[in-house]
Chains A and B, each alone.
Chain A
């Protein structure tokens, strides 16, 4: 990337979505959504199933191509092509700097834990293998899986898989991490170990957008909450003004479903 320019959204903004619209066939799933992520900020995305949370977070790394609006990374509009072209930043560049973790882990089953983590740096960044492995081992140690480096994903528990997936994303040294319901596919007793890793990342100042149904966790870790409903951001604010003390009627009824 060249010449990092500042945008109207302020000097701190790393990743921004402006007026995002997305339709699948005739179904409009996102109806003009704005999101900004400031450096070091953690944004929690909550909302009912089918409200468009996944679609929105997937637009942020162009995994879904928005039908309207734009994604802006470090002041540069993201173009349609994979490569940087004509003054726009390419999708490939965006994804090298914006990591994503999936609900179903999507680890590479034919590669060991270590190879899963080194794959991106080696293939995409041309990092020398030795250096990539050294960094991968440090990351695996951080998520508590150093001793599993030679295991294949099929031999890991769900919680272990997800921690490897987080290490894989971190190996690219991303500026932003996008997490889409990363604990939803886990057995309840394995949720905690993954949330702890994310909490530690938040404490270390990682910029994150987190889609989650773990309300207590979201309230705890997020600086700002976005409540999405039917493709629009209905409420935006600090956890104290949203999850903990909802004034909006729809948000209140949504949140109350999680307080048993």
Chain B
């Protein structure tokens, strides 16, 4: 029978907290950047300009059709050779996470906007609104409500995805758990604490997400 001993873990509690902090930073940083990328890419795809649309589409497919782990390795080890400058692992991690989630966000935004009936844009146009006014005042508020559940879902996944940055030695929660394990030879405790910390953050978030989704359904 395995004898649990969490006492060694408390010694390294600071490492866990620092790792969790970095996980939060990378998650929110990449979500903010990813939203900006997603909006830009979504705009490019809906612009009606063939060339912009094609570039945006290509980016999306590349990032949606390769595993995040592969992207991290490529940006950290391969990309520097290509451009001849080395990049910091933290920069590579943030860049890759943002580009990855941005490709998905763009599709969520695009789907939300396209799901709004054409009649809405026509009604807005019929009272003299410009395309941009119709978009901002009529289409986007409705699209926002529709895409919110998918957006939150993707963001929860993003939180978990950050654990992959540990492979390029970014000291996130997963990385720190491995460090603690290396110091204590207590894999069961180290990795269980790591899992518990992920749950401690994500469980409340998924509950809030469910609540928001229910509220949106009721208000329709």
Contacts and interface: CB of A to CB of B under 8 A. Distances in A.
Nearest to A100: B126
Interface in B105-153: 117, 119-120, 122-131, 133, 137-138, 141-142, 145
B5 interface: no
Interface string A146-163: 000000001000000000
A154 to B, nearest CB: 7
A19 interface: no
Contacts, number: 59
A169 interface: yes
B138 A95 contact: no
Contact of A109 (B126, B133, B142): B142
Interface in A99-125: 99-100, 102, 104, 106-110, 119-120, 123-125
Interface string B148-181: 0000000000000000000000000000000000
A206 B153 CA distance: 52
Q: Which of B123, B128, B130, B133 has the most CB of A within 10 A?
A: B128
Interface class of chain B by DSSP: helix
Contact of A108 (B131, B138, B145, B220): B138
Interface residues of A, number: 27
Contacts of A171: 127
A61 interface: yes
Contacts of A120: 127-129
Contacts of A107: 123
A95 B127 contact: yes
Contact of B128 (A108, A110, A124): A124
B125 A63 contact: yes
Contacts of B133: 123-124
Contact of A123 (B120, B129, B145): B129
A168 interface: yes
A123 B129 CA distance: 8
B142 A95 contact: no
Contacts of B129: 120, 123-124
Contacts of B137: 119, 123
